[in-house]
Amino acid sequence: MSARSAVRRTTRCLCAVTLGAAATLAAAPQAAAASDAVSPGRYRIVTYSDLCWDSGGAQLTQETCAEENADQVFELMPSYDRVEQRVRTADGECLEVDGFYVHDAIRGQGCDWDSHDQLFRFVSLGNGKYQIKPDAHAGKCADVEYPAAQTDVTSSPCRNSDLAENQQFKLVRMN
C-alpha cells in the first residue's frame, strides 16, 4: 500500500468516526428535550397563585379558575419534532408570542402551521411544574408579573427557575 492510499484510508476512517460522534452528540440534546414534551391533550395551565390562564380577551390573562370556563382549557398539540408544542384555545386559535420587547404579548391567533411564534417548549422543573418557553424567542419564558386576577401572561426573559415562581406553571389534565 502506498503512503498516499494509507493517508486517504486514515482520513476516511477519521471522517467516519467524527461524523458518527457528531451525530451521537446532536441526538443527545433532542432526546433529553423530547422527554420534557407533555402528552397531547386538554389542560388547564395554573399559575403559582392558583389562577388559570384564560384566552377570553385580546391577550392571554390569568383569571380565577372556573370549571365551566372553556377559555381556561387549552389543547396541547405536538409539532413535527415532538419537542415544541402548539397550544390551541377553545376558539380554535393557537397561542402566539407577539413582539420583540422585554415583555411580549401572548394572544390567540389563527393557527399557522409554519409559524415558530406558535411553538412552545414545556420544560419540566420537577414537582409537576413547568417553564413554558416560546420557540422563536430564545431566552424567554411565559411569565405572570403579579398574582392578581386579570393580569396579562407575557413572554419575558427567563430567570432562575428556583426563584422565579411567576414563571412556573402546573398543568392539570382535563377529561
Q: What is the pLDDT of residues 119-173, one digit of tens each?
A: 999 999 988 999 999 987 788 999 998 777 778 999 999 987 667 899 999 999 9
Average pLDDT of 79-103? 87
> How far is it between the farthest Cα atoms of the chain?
80
pTM score, whole prediction: 0.76
pLDDT at 162: 67
Q: Residue 121: left if φ>0, alpha if ψ -120 to 50, beta else—which one?
A: beta
Cell numbers linked to 129 = 411544574
Comparing 22-26, 62-66, 92-96, the range with the smallest average pLDDT is 22-26
45 or 146: which leads in pLDDT? 45
pLDDT for the residue 5: 57
Cell triple for 137: 424567542
Report d(CA 105, CA 140) in Å as an integer.
12
**What's residue 4's pLDDT?**
57
- Statement: residue 73 has pLDDT above 50: yes
Domain residue ranges of the chain, discontinuous segments joined by +? 1-36, 39-173
Q: Class for domain 39-173, per CATH?
A: mainly beta
* Residue-level pLDDT at 23: 40
What pLDDT is stored for residue 44 in this prediction?
Answer: 98
